[in-house]
Structure 1
């Protein structure tokens, strides 16, 4: 099967700027763009009142001054948290970001986006539906839509229901049973793997099905070169300071 045209660059900045700025904040996306990256990855979940906001963890403690389950709070409460001080005093007071706020930045700076749907446990399908619908609204008319990815097939099914026109990718940390069939059923355009999983056979299998091969999170030059030699299509990295984007 012939792959569809691929509009995304080879290098993608993880959570905005990797570990150089508070992840998933607008400060991180500004820094990644300053390093020349044309595409970034973010994590998106729902507040209790279904505002799509950016956070990786299910809980707030690691990257904010909040406590408990992030999805249990309304956006009015989440928006008042400090999402930068955990990384250093220079970032103190940096607020959490919404997908709408990031979309405005992306449009103004021609930054492409990979949105990882990161649902609170128990609301996978609903999170996929709302994130995809919001992304479709925010990128309506855009030349290149965001790429929606998730480790949770149910979240991708939700995205497929609410915005089937947006491209989807299945995230994998290991080769789970039925991964290939799941990616096919979900209409995925890409499989996004822990970079150590890829070998010549798996790359060939994915490419032969018309899908692309993406990798996370690659911070070593030798690992990156191995992936390019295998013919993979894109790399997600923290090291926006090390790898010059294409």
Structure 2
């Protein structure tokens, strides 16, 4: 099984943010399959808990934005959510796509040999979510999944509930001591936005045994940064070649793959 660490793999993981979310409805099996076909070796997904204690893959607490339904996921049973169309909002040709469960997504990850960065979006019932998570994850899933969240407290609770679980804290700002931040919640990874990535911090985190997922947005955001005088693309190439980033995520895996190939970055395939 691939590791979350560049030092173990010798290559950078390419991670689809909500799957290949520029060309498929986000957080669907179709988005994950297309992301894999384009060269992705990891997928970042979002998860919430249904009224009957099932974990489904969805970014929002409400179904309104990405399905033809209405209401909170927490107030709907899985059977209700399975009837919803999760593709028509994206375009007429995507009608009929369904909301996947976490269990279905993990099964696909095994089939395609993908790693999963699973964000906890649940807010109303974190205790119930962690119990459902413990019932969903098998022993051979633990090295394949990284549970991630902005809420580092919930990650610490998850690790206490599920021995051997890997966890990653999402951060959108720089910290004076990122290693201490990771240590306070026993995190295995920090998920760092590109605009606050610092190579010295990365070296310190790697020395402490933590992996790093760097989120590089979508191609249009990088173009806007270039026009504003920021040289993220040039710096990013060097950081990737030096192994300072273990996983590079974004909305367009095909663009990330082409960028890395042109920059001489080692990829899995």
TM class by smaller structure: 0.7 to 0.9
Length-normalised TM-score, structure 2: 0.79
SS in 2 for 1:93: coil
Deviations 1:111-144 (A, max 9, x none): 221111211x23234424533x14532xx33594
User: Which residue is equivalent to 2:245?
Assistant: 232
Report the aligned-residue RMSD.
2.6
SS at match of 2:209: coil
Structure 2 gaps of 5+ residues are 223-230, 258-266
Please state if 1:194 is matched with 2:197. Answer: no
Q: Which residue of 1 aligns with 2:32?
A: 29
Given candidates 39, 51, 55, the residue that maps to 2:54 is 51
Q: Secondary structure at the match of 2:249?
A: strand
Task: Give 2:90's aligned residue.
Answer: 87
Q: How many Å separate the matches in 1 of 2:248 and 2:37?
A: 18
Per-residue CA deviations over 1:170-192 (Å, capped at 9, x if unaligned) read 11122468865342132211100
Equivalent residue pairs, number: 240
- Structure 1 distance, partners of 2:78, 2:143, is 28
Contact 2:61 2:72 in 1 (8 A): yes
- Residues of 2 paired with 1:86 and 1:99: CA distance? 21
Query: In the alignment, which residue of structure 2 is the partner of 1:214?
Result: 213
Higher-Rg member (1/2)? 2
- Structure 1 range deviating more: 206-215 or 95-104: 206-215
8 Å Cα contact 2:50/2:56 also seen in 1: yes
Tell me the distance in 1 between the aligned counterparts of 2:198 and 2:178.
16
Task: Spell out the pairing of 1:7-22 with structure 2 (5 A cutoff).
Answer: 9-22=12-25
Partners of 2:237 and 2:165 lie apart in 1 by: 26
CA distance in 1, matches of 2:171, 2:14: 19
Instruction: Give a deviation string over 1:155-201, Cα, whole Å, max 9, x none.
Output: 21231122120211111122468865342132211100121111233
Select which of 256, 262, 265 maps to 1:243: 256
Gaps of 5+ in 1: none
* Cα pair distance change 1:5/1:199, threshold 3 Å: closer
Matched residue, 1:68: 71
When residues 207 and 40 of structure 1 are mapped into structure 2, their CA distance, relative to the original with a 3 A threshold, is same
- Taking the aligned partners of 1:173 and 1:181, their CA distance within structure 2 comes to 16
Contact 2:178 / 2:201 at 8 angstroms: preserved in 1?
no
